[in-house]
Structure 1
Amino acid sequence: MGNEQMAEFFTKKLSDAKIHFERALDCKHTEFDDLYPYMIEHPQFFWYKRYVAWSELLTVVKLCEELSIPWAEQFTPAQTEYIGKRVMSSTVLDCWYETNDSKETVG
């Protein structure tokens, strides 16, 4: 796999991880729901689902950094800062979208 192909591959994986995290934030269906359908009934499910999606996002970002593949342009400056801190805090959960008006619709 050439450098250009690898960059395209990881850019796609990064986009997928971002969408997965945003769908988890919005309490929308993700692959995680299919893996653990019995968990939907438990109150901690949505917290855990978000944690898994956040971990996936951080992992892909880390790989991009190690491979010198730019990743920050897919995120707002605030989101880039949250990712840099690596902690999924209440600020990340509450402020991932800068305002409700700028919130993207996740398909």
Structure 2
Amino acid sequence: MITSEFLSAKLGDAKVHFERALDCKHTEFDDLYPYMIEHPQFFWYKRYVAWSELLTIVKLCDELGEEWKSQFTERQAEYIAKRVMSSRVLDEWYETNDSKEHVG
């Protein structure tokens, strides 16, 4: 059975995965496709995969009536609701340069 705690944990994992991809840090994608690192499109693909994962978990939360927005800033939740990974999402995911909370 899927619990709120399980979904919350998966959502947190997906958020960390996306933020690691944004920050060009190591993710599972690097391990799955090590030969891709040489390609200029690599980081775009990596971010796209992480964004898709995040949207999938959010969609599951919506379908199951689980709250998900509390794990994000208001602006981040708006980006997710729009579903499009635009340059604005990539550039402004973190609210300001002063408040960047990059994942470790």
* Shorter-chain TM band: over 0.9
* Cα distance in 2 for residues equivalent to 1:101 and 1:33: 29
Structure 1: stretches of 5+ with no match in the other structure:
none
4+ long deviations beyond 3 Å: none
* Cα distance in 2 for residues equivalent to 1:92 and 1:105: 15
Tell me how far 1:81 sits from its aligned partner.
0.3
Aligned to 1:63: 60
Aligned to 1:28: 25
Aligned 8 A contact 2:4 2:66 in 1: yes
Aligned to 2:15: 18
Tell me how far 1:105 sits from its aligned partner.
2.9
Aligned to 1:79: 76
Aligned to 1:6: 3
Aligned to 1:88: 85
Overall identity of the aligned pairs, in %: 79
* Cα distance in 1 for residues equivalent to 2:102 and 2:96: 13
Structure having the higher helix fraction is: 1
* Cα distance in 2 for residues equivalent to 1:21 and 1:36: 17
Aligned to 2:102: 105
Structure 2: stretches of 5+ with no match in the other structure:
none
Amino acid at match of 1:22: E
TM-score (normalizing by structure 2): 0.97
Tell me how far 1:29 sits from its aligned partner.
0.2
* Cα distance in 2 for residues equivalent to 1:55 and 1:105: 20
Look up the SS of the partner of 1:102 in the other structure.
coil
Equivalenced residues, count: 104
Report the RMSD for the aligned CA atoms in angstroms: 0.8
Residue by residue over 1:42-92, the C-alpha shift from the partner in whole angstroms, topping out at 9 and shown as x without a partner, is: 000000000000000000000000001100000000000000000000000
Aligned to 1:46: 43
